[in-house]
């Protein structure tokens, strides 16, 4: 069954702790993305990766870090430097065409609450 | 940088009513345009997209959208909505200057009353 998995679905952390969100895809896609979704603000791009061992900052990268050691995996770490980390986090992947016409496929999301 | 505006934040319709959701973007060059939908409890998924050719594009579930370059718009339409169309709808764009970065609008919540 092809798709994108994110775990866990809900995550609670204390303020000041780093937390890592998992994203795995078995679609053989080159490109992967992390978005943050807040009510009334749509989706905002945090980081994206076009190929293994390479990634670029999106619009709101401050306080986040990523790695891309394997094609199928793109974990996101929310660090203590992120001022307002409570949000819904979505991972996506796509074939990775340079034309910008790709369809992105999304995971189910992780809702992070920082107490 | 490009931006996308969706002016309708929440739309409420009765079943069988016609739907039009507005989407405007700000970028003067070549664009690729998308509508994504998030049904309650489901993954965000693609409804339709436009990147060239006929400016009227058809998507899944009877939705269509029209690209009007002179108005920088890509409005989503459906002639007769159903209760199952209740969802949040997002317009998004990639541009020739930022082809790998999808920029989303703030979304429109559509509620269809039975």
pLDDT for A1 beyond 60: no
- Nearest chain A residue to B89 by CA distance is A42
B43 neighbourhood in chain A, CB within 8 Å: 4, 105-109
Higher pLDDT, A59 or B98: A59
In the DSSP assignment, the letter for residue B97 is T
Cβ count within 10 A of residue A90? 25
Name the band, by pLDDT with cuts 50, 70 and 90, for residue A2.
low
Q: Tell which wins on pLDDT, A16 or A2.
A: A16
How many residue pairs from chains A and B have C-beta atoms closer than 8 A? Answer: 61
- Give the pLDDT confidence of B23-70 residue by residue, as tens digits: 999 988 889 999 999 999 999 999 999 999 999 999 999 999 999 999
Q: Looking at chain B from residue 34 to 63, which residues have their Cβ under 8 Å from any Cβ of chain A?
A: 34, 43-46, 49, 51
In this structure, what are the phi and psi dihedrals at residue B83, rounded to the nearest 5 degrees?
A: -55, -35
Q: How confident is the model at residue B101 (pLDDT cuts 50, 70, 90)?
A: confident
Q: Are A3 and A105 in contact (CB under 8 A)?
A: yes
Which residues in chain A have Cβ-Cβ distances shorter than 8 Å to B9?
40
pLDDT at A4: 96
Q: Residue A35's closest CA among A25, A27, A52, A23?
A: A23
Give pLDDT tens digits for B77-97: 999 999 999 999 999 999 877
Tokens describing residue A23: 């994203």
């Amino acid at each position: 069954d092809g798709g994108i998995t994110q775990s866990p679905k809900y995550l609670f952390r204390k303020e000041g702790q780093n937390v890592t969100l998992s994203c795995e895809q078995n679609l053989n896609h080159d490109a992967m993305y992390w978005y943050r979704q807040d009510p009334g603000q749509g989706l905002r791009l945090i980081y994206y990766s076009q190929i293994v061992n390479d990634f670029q900052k999106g619009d709101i990268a401050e306080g986040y870090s990523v790695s891309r050691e394997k094609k199928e995996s793109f974990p996101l770490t929310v660090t203590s430097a992120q001022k307002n980390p409570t949000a819904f986090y979505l991972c996506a992947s796509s074939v990775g065409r340079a034309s910008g016409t790709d369809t992105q496929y999304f995971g189910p999301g992780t809702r992070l609450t920082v107490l | 940088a490009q931006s996308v505006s969706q002016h309708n934040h929440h739309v409420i319709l009765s079943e069988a009513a016609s739907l039009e959701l507005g989407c405007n973007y700000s970028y003067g060059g070549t664009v690729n345009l998308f509508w994504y939908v998030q049904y309650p409890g489901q993954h965000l998924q693609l409804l339709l997209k436009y990147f060239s050719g006929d400016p009227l594009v058809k998507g899944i579930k009877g939705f269509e959208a029209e690209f009007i370059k002179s108005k920088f718009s890509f409005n989503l339409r459906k002639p007769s909505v159903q209760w199952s169309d209740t969802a949040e709808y997002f317009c998004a764009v990639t541009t020739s200057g930022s082809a790998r970065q999808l920029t989303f609008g703030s979304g429109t919540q559509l509620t269809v009353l039975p």
